[in-house]
Structure 1
Amino acid sequence: MTNLFELYVKLVGLVLLGFILGRKLPSTVPSVVGHFLFYLGVPISIVSFLYQADLSGQIWIAPAIAYLAILLGALLAWLAIKGQTYVTNTMPQQPTQGSLLLAAMVGNTGYLGFPITLAMVGQQYFAWALFYDLLGTVFGAYGLGVALAARFGNNINNHQHITKAILINPALWSFAFGLLLRQVKIPHLVAFYMDKLAWIALTLSLVLIGMRLSQLKSWRSLPQVGISLAIKMILVPLILGSTLGWFGITGSAAKVIVLQMAMPPAFATLVLAETFNLDRDLAVTALAAGAFILLITLPFWLWLF
């Protein structure tokens, strides 16, 4: 409970700080911070934490669980859309369907999932979160997510741009570099400063979330968003979390996987909504509402697992 209280103080405090700064500072600042984290901050964090992480056990199964979570979320959201159509005799427009599917599939397993995992489980099992995000969520968002966005959107000419974004993603390259770096012994002082820079980057990532939330102004799609959030943040982690024992995943490793599955929708959903002309208002509302709901659901998952 002490750790959870400290986590909430840090999460709420840093996000609130970012929210205030987002309202006071020029609108270009969040973009600058985002670019810094994307190209430098997050890669340094990945290299540092991966260097210290324990890669033993069934860690390579984490991406497979991520793909199962993404597919299950998409399936349940599709069934919910069909059920709504059957009951009300009205079908949401295609762009709205696309945003609903994306919100139920892809979680914020990086900027939000990483600090929560480190705070509640520790660095020893951080690699599970890292593998889940980089080899699971990233490819799920910009693979299946792109396919669905193109199917339900009005713009199908951006596949090459998305593919290029995946290939030049600094996080993936730093992941590979971090694996290679584990084979050598780096000086203690270098490791110390890498660790400090990694934590600074994670702190900035939470501030950035607050900055971006300060720019989200639409809540009119909240009733529709509720179904996707219930699927993404409750049903999927509950269903798959109860089966982790079948895969031999227990203890702290299981807790990490459940926490990653229970994260709110990722900012990638908004990127795809804007790129493929989906329902941007719905994507915006899902991001904002999911961040607040996490404060309620997080203690439940920690208690249950």
Structure 2
Amino acid sequence: MEFPSLRLLSLYVPLIGWSSLGFWLGRICPLWVGDRLGKLLFWVGVPISVLGFLRQSELSAAVWLAPVAAWLAIALGGLLGWLWLMATLKQGQRPEQKQRPVSSPMTQSRPQQGSFLLATMMGNTGYLGFPVSLALIGPKYFAWALFYDMIGTTLGAYGLGVVMAAHFGGMQKSPRDLLRALVCNPVLWSFALGLGIHDIPLPLWLDSFLKTVAWTSITVALVLIGMRLSQLRSWRSVRLASVSLSVKMLIVPLLIGVLLSFTSLGSAEKLAIVLQVSMPPAFATLVLCEAYELDRELTVTALAMGSIGLLVTLPLWLLLFPTS
């Protein structure tokens, strides 16, 4: 059995190294560099990497449990987050507390509530979840991470997430605009194409090309994450961000992991799902925050704290859900 620390080392070295390079580049390069790099990944790199890794993955009927787990995790995160907000509201309404100001999320603003809930529900299961899954489990089980992201997080963020953002924020863009963005997402089309050609033999040079682009895209994605983090300027709203991250990255993954222990899934499949559930808040939450005028300070703080906190929480899941 491979010792967990060796697998973590194989992940942390490129994760920290490439992200640190991106952080440095983000400080010295113009903003348009990160934007162009992000568009290149979105339209070319990630779609091709989906094709490349999907062809290396084993597909089975059980893989559809991944998006089911994704939606369950989204629902649990939202429910627990909302219960915490309601409990804080009741605490702030106690008679003995009426004479002094209360820093309750429910007594502040609806945009802050929206940002808080989105941070507890939507994870970075693509740019960050993919390399974590590949490093800790391998390409053989990549389909589980892919199904979780495509049919779970992506649809959740630009479906339910749009509805919630419009409800809690000052709407700037119509839901039709983000629905159009969802339909035009090249990764979704690449995912569908990859399923269609999964069992079709391809020339060796083409398979090799897909694999090379796939691994290169993962590296570039880590650099881009570092560049995005270097552009985050706010570290306030730590208390609320800590609560949302505790729900998103600790409580919900543990609950999902316990539920999966009652299924017949193999240990690798269970770990693949738990790792995706435990990802920090998605950068899509920042997109929704800016589009619908939610609390950017809280969203940014949760993104930064969650990305760093991932280095601490990953060993926990490897110990609780070993693959052999």
TM-score, normalised by the number of residues in structure 2: 0.92
Q: 1:282 to 1:54 in 2, by over 3 A?
A: same
C-alpha distance in structure 2 between counterparts of 1:83 and 1:34, whole Å: 39
Aligned to 2:96: none
Mapping of residues 1-305 of structure 1, within 5 Å: 1-89=5-93, 90=104, 91-155=107-171, 157-305=173-321
Q: Aligned partners of 2:155, 2:264: CA distance in 1, in Å?
A: 24
Percent of aligned positions that are identical: 50
Moved more, 25-34 or 48-57: 48-57
- Once the 2 structures are TM-superposed, how far is the Cα of residue 181 of structure 1 from its aligned partner? 1.6
7-16 vs 101-110, greater mean Cα deviation:
7-16
CA drift at 1:182:
1.7
Q: Distance in 1 between matches of 2:79 and 2:180?
A: 28
Give, in angstroms, the shift of residue 188 of structure 1: 1.1
Q: Contact conserved, 2:172 with 2:293, CA < 8 A, in 1? A: no
Is the contact made by 1:107 and 1:262 (CA closer than 8 Å) also made in structure 2?
yes
> Deviation per CA, 1:94-138, whole angstroms, max 9, x where unpaired?
000000000000000000000010000001100000000001000
Q: What residue ranges of structure 2 are gaps of 5+ in the alignment?
A: 94-103
**Aligned length in residues:** 305
* Counterpart-to-counterpart distance in 2, 1:249 and 1:76: 26
More deviation in 90-99 or 100-109? Answer: 90-99
- CA–CA distance in 2 between the matches of 1:237 and 1:5? 22
SS at match of 1:110: coil
Q: d(CA) in 2 for partners of 1:243 and 1:60?
A: 16
Larger radius of gyration: 2
Verify the 8 A CA contact 2:170 2:292 in the aligned structure 1: yes
TM-superposed CA distance for 1:250, in Å, is 3.1
Question: Cα RMSD over matched residues?
Answer: 1.0
Q: Is the 8 A contact 2:48 2:210 kept in 1?
A: yes
Specify the code of the residue in structure 1 equivalent to 2:267.
G
SS of equivalent to 2:62: coil
2:245–2:306 Cα contact (<8 Å) kept: yes
Q: Report the secondary structure of 1:249's partner residue.
A: coil
Alpha carbons of structure 1 residues 239 and 190: separation in structure 2 relative to 1, 3 Å: same
Task: Return closer, same or farther for 1:191/1:102 CA change in 2, 3 Å cut-off.
Answer: same
The structural deviation recorded for 1:304 is 0.5
Give the CA deviation at 1:247. Answer: 3.5
Letter in 2 for 1:173: W
* One-letter amino acid of the counterpart of residue 161, structure 1: D
CA distance, structure 1, for counterparts of residue 159 and residue 61 of structure 2: 27
Give CA deviations for 1:126-153 in whole Å, capped at 9, x if unaligned: 0000000001000111111111111101
Query: CA offset at residue 228 of structure 1?
Result: 0.4
CA distance in 2, matches of 1:12, 1:183: 35
**How far off is 1:157 after superposition?**
4.4
Q: Which amino acid aligns with 1:241?
A: G
Task: Give the superposition deviation at 1:223.
Answer: 1.1
Task: Give the Cα–Cα distance (whole angstroms) in 2 for the partners of residues 3 and 298 of structure 1.
Answer: 11
Moved more, 155-164 or 249-258: 155-164
